[in-house]
C-alpha cells in the first residue's frame, strides 16, 4: 500500500499533533493539514489542573511546541474552526466556517467534551476544566474564592480539589465513588487517596451525587446534596467525566459507540483512522474494544496510526498507563487495576508514604527480590502495578505485566 499523498488531521491537541510529528519523523513528505477547533496552538492538558491552575506556570508554558517547531513540520494549521461533518468516502471534512478540506487519508483526533450539570450553563461561578481557556478562567476564580466545591471524585476532580486546597480555599470534594479514584484504583488505594486529601484539609462527601446547584441572581452559592445539606461555595467545579467529541460524525456512517469504533490498526473506515481520547479500537492483547483517556496513550497511539498510514501493519496493543499528581504524591499506574482485585504491597508501605502495589487475582502470588523482579503465579499474571511516590520501582515491577495480563 502506498502512502497517501495528503493527510488531514482533525484535532490539534496532543494526539493530532503527535500524529503529524510521527508522520514527518517517519519520512512522510506529502501534504499535511491539521484542523483545530480552538484558536490556540497545540498545548498539553495534564498541566491544566495542576501547574497552570495553581499559577506555577503561565498559560503559554503549556504549549506543546514552539512556533518555530510547528513551522518546521511543514504542515498547514487551520485553527479556530471546528469540524461539523465528514464524508468518509470522499475523505472530505466540512467546517463551521464553511470550508471543505479534502485529503487522501483522514485522522480523527477530536478528543472529549466535559459533562455538565443540569442548568449549569445559566449560572455564573460554575466551571469545567478541559481547555486552556477553562484553566485560565478557573485560576482567576480561585484567586478570589474562599470556598470551593468540586463535584466529581475521579482523577480530574481529585486533582482540582488538591490544587484548590493548596491555594488556601476551603475545599469540598463530592462524588459518587466510595472514595476518590476508588473505581480506578480499588477501595484500598482509594482510601489512601481519601486520607491524603483529609490530611490536607479537603472536606469529602463520597458515595453521593448532587441534587442541584444553589444560586442567587444567576450566581452559584453552593450545591445541594440529596440529603438536603447545602455546601456553600464561591466557586463550583464540575468534574463528572467526559464524552467523546463525536456528535459531528453522526451522519458520517462511521460506527460510534462510546467513541469512534476502529479495528486493531485504529482504522475506522478505508482511509480514515482515529487516535487519542475519542478512539475506541480493538486491542488484540485484551480481546476487546477499549478507549483510553490519557496523555500517554495519545502519543503512543499517534505513532501506530502514522506507521499504518505509511503502509505498515501495526496492531496497537499497549499496556495502559496513566499518572496523577495530588499534593506531594505522584501516583503512576501501569495496566488497568480491577477494583475488586487482591492488592499486594511489594515495596514500601502504606504508612510510609512510598510504596508499590501489585494488583492480581486471588490465585496470584509474587516473589520480589532486590533490583530484579521475579514473579511466581498460581494461575494468572498481575494485571496492574501502582507506584505511590516510587516511580522507578513501579516501572521495574511493571515489566511483569503483559497486555493480556493488563486487561480490564
Q: What is the CATH number of the domain that holds 223?
A: 3.50.50.60
Domain-embedded: residue 322: no
> Do 197 and 180 share a domain, yes or no?
yes
Q: What mean pLDDT comes out for the span 114-133?
A: 95
Residue 317 within any structural domain of the chain: no
Judgement on whether residues 233 and 333 belong to the same structural domain of the protein? no
Higher-pLDDT residue of 337 and 9 is 9
User: Do residues 275 and 233 touch, judged by C-beta distance below 8 A?
Assistant: no
Residue 408 has pLDDT above 60, yes or no: no
In this structure, is residue 109 part of a structural domain?
yes
**Whether residue 275 sits in one domain with residue 264:** yes
Residues 127 and 236 in one domain: yes
Residue 167: inside a domain: yes
pLDDT at 34 over 60: yes
Q: In the predicted model, is pLDDT for residue 406 greater than 80?
A: no
H/E segment holding residue 52: helix 51-54
Residue 339: per-residue pLDDT: 74
Assess whether 217 and 122 both reside in one domain: yes
Average pLDDT, the chain: 92
> Residue 231: in which H helix or E strand, if any?
strand 230-232
Q: Report the C-alpha gap between 308 and 392 in whole angstroms.
A: 32
Q: Note the pLDDT of residue 368.
A: 30
pLDDT band at 2 (very low <50, low <70, confident <90, very high): confident
Q: What is the mean pLDDT of residues 232-246?
A: 97
Residue 310, pLDDT above cutoff 60: yes
**Per-residue pLDDT tens digits for 169-188:** 999 999 999 999 999 999 99
Range of the domain at 356: 328-400
Which pLDDT band, with edges at 50, 70 and 90, does 363 fall under?
Answer: very low
Please state the rounded mean pLDDT for residues 39-65. Answer: 97
Q: What is the CATH number of the domain that holds 383?
A: 3.30.390
* Percent of the chain scoring above 90 in pLDDT: 88
Average pLDDT of the residues in 286-307: 95
Q: Give the model's confidence band at 105: pLDDT under 50 very low, under 70 low, under 90 confident, else very high.
A: very high
Residue 238's SS3 state is strand
Answer yes or no: do 216 and 122 share one domain: yes
In a domain, 191, yes or no: yes
Taking the C-alpha atoms of 96, 39, 135 and 247 in order, what is their torsion angle to the nearest 10 degrees?
20
Same domain, 344 and 295: no
The stretch 347-374 carries a mean pLDDT of 63
Q: Show which of 278, 309, 340 is a domain's final residue.
A: 309
What's the mean pLDDT in 108-116? Answer: 97
Asked whether residue 395 is assigned to any structural domain, the reply reads: yes
Q: Same structural domain for residues 45 and 83?
A: yes
Residue 404 has pLDDT above 80, yes or no: no
Same domain, 137 and 154: yes
Q: Is the pLDDT of residue 377 over 80?
A: no
The answer to whether residue 91 scores a pLDDT higher than 80 is yes
The residue out of 218, 240, 262 marking a domain boundary is: 240
Q: Of the candidates 202, 222, 240, which is a domain's last residue? A: 240
pLDDT at 380: 57
Total domains in the fold of the chain: 3
Q: Is residue 1 part of a domain?
A: no
- In this predicted structure, the answer to whether residue 373 has a pLDDT above a threshold of 70 is no
Q: What is the 3-state secondary structure (H, E, C) of 18-50?
A: HHHHHHHHCCCCCEEEEEECCCCCCECCHHHHC
Same domain, 69 and 130: no
Per the domain annotation, does 15 fall within a domain? yes
pLDDT band at 403 (very low <50, low <70, confident <90, very high): low
Mean predicted confidence (pLDDT) in 319-345? 92
User: CA 235 to CA 219: how far, in whole Å?
Assistant: 9
As a whole number, mean pLDDT of residues 161-172 equals: 97
* Same-domain check for residues 106 and 122: no
HEC states along 337-360? CCCCCEEEEEEEECCCCEEEEEEE
User: Are 123 and 223 members of one domain?
Assistant: yes
- pTM for the predicted model, two decimal places: 0.91
pLDDT at 243 over 60: yes
pLDDT band at 16 (very low <50, low <70, confident <90, very high): very high
Amino acid at each position: 500500500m502506498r502512502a497517501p499523498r495528503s493527510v488531514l488531521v482533525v484535532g490539534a491537541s496532543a494526539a493530532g499533533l503527535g500524529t503529524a510529528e510521527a508522520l514527518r519523523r517517519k519520512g512522510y513528505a506529502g501534504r499535511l493539514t491539521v484542523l483545530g477547533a480552538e484558536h490556540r496552538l497545540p498545548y498539553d492538558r495534564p498541566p491544566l489542573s495542576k501547574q497552570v491552575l495553581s499559577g506555577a506556570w503561565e498559560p503559554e508554558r503549556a504549549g506543546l511546541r514552539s512556533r518555530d517547531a510547528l513551522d518546521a513540520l511543514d504542515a498547514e494549521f487551520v485553527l479556530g474552526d471546528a469540524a461539523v461533518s465528514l464524508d468518509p468516502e470522499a475523505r472530505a471534512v466540512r467546517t463551521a466556517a464553511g470550508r471543505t478540506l479534502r485529503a487522501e487519508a483522514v485522522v480523527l483526533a477530536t478528543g472529549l467534551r466535559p459533562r455538565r450539570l443540569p442548568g449549569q450553563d445559566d449560572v455564573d461561578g460554575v466551571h469545567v476544566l478541559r481547555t486552556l481557556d477553562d484553566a485560565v478562567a478557573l485560576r482567576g476564580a480561585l484567586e478570589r474564592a474562599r470556598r470551593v466545591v468540586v463535584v466529581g471524585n475521579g482523577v480530574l476532580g481529585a486533582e482540582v480539589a488538591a490544587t484548590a486546597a493548596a491555594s488556601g480555599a476551603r475545599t469540598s470534594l463530592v462524588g459518587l465513588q466510595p472514595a476518590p479514584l476508588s473505581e480506578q484504583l480499588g477501595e484500598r488505594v482509594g482510601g489512601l487517596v481519601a486520607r491524603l486529601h483529609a490530611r490536607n484539609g479537603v472536606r469529602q462527601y463520597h458515595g453521593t451525587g448532587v441534587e442541584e446547584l444553589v444560586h442567587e441572581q444567576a450566581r452559584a452559592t453552593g450545591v445541594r446534596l440529596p440529603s438536603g445539606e447545602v455546601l456553600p461555595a464561591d466557586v463550583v467545579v464540575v468534574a463528572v467525566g467526559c464524552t467523546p467529541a463525536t456528535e459531528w460524525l453522526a451522519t458520517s456512517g462511521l460506527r460510534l459507540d462510546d467513541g469512534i469504533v476502529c479495528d486493531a490498526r485504529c482504522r475506522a473506515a478505508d482511509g480514515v483512522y482515529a487516535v487519542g481520547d475519542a478512539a475506541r479500537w480493538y486491542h488484540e492483547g485484551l480481546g476487546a474494544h477499549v478507549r483510553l483517556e490519557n496523555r500517554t496513550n495519545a502519543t503512543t497511539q499517534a505513532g501506530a496510526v502514522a506507521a499504518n498510514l505509511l503502509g505498515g501493519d501495526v496492531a496497537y496493543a499497549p499496556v495502559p498507563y496513566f499518572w496523577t499528581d495530588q499534593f506531594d504524591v505522584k501516583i503512576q499506574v501501569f495496566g488497568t487495576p480491577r477494583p475488586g482485585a487482591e492488592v499486594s504491597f511489594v515495596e514500601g508501605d502504606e504508612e510510609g508514604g512510598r510504596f508499590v502495589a501489585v494488583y492480581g487475582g486471588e490465585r496470584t502470588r509474587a516473589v520480589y527480590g532486590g533490583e530484579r523482579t521475579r514473579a511466581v503465579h498460581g494461575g494468572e499474571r498481575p494485571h496492574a502495578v501502582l507506584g505511590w511516590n516510587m516511580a522507578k520501582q513501579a516501572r521495574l515491577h511493571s515489566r511483569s505485566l503483559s497486555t493480556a495480563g493488563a486487561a480490564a
